Amino acid sequence: MSADVLLSRLSRVRKTGPGRWVACCPAHGSGANTALAVRELPDGRVLLHDFGGCEIESVLAAIGMSVADLFPEKLTATEAGGDRRYRSGGHRVPAGDVLIATARDTLIAATVARGIADAGEATDNEVNLLFSVAGRLATAVEVTHG
């Protein structure tokens, strides 16, 4: 998902910088004007922070979305198989690239874990997302060891 979908459902959206916006929090009652910060990362993930303290799940539910909507759609096996970046093929990948990918996936896992901790249970989307992260990390290990 791009931030455009989310932003189209918010009111009083104002751009504050490249890939950054503020808007009114939809989880507050009418008349409330607490700021919701929105940031779209280069990899397509969308981050939210409500300065009024609303839970992200509440903010998203108020506009008919879920936490899974903040992450780009995962590649299908066919798409990944056709892209050389996702095959080990015997070549080594620079350690810095692996660390960047690992850091991103760790952030995804931490975000999902926070959602699970707050809700008390995992949704199917959250479990699938964690398995995707685990698979990418296993592939990173395979690729870096040639």
Q: What digits encode the pLDDT tens for the residues 97-136?
A: 777 778 788 888 878 888 787 888 877 787 777 777 777 7
What digits encode the pLDDT tens for the residues 56-86?
888 999 999 988 888 877 644 444 444 444 4
Domain end residue (candidates: 17, 41, 73): 73
Taking the model in full, what pTM does it have? 0.50
Say yes or no: 9 and 57 in one domain.
yes
Say yes or no: 53 and 91 in one domain.
no
In terms of Cβ atoms closer than 10 Å to its own Cβ (0-12, 13-18, 19+), residue 1 is: middle
Query: Domain span at residue 35?
Result: 1-73
Say yes or no: 90 and 129 in one domain.
yes
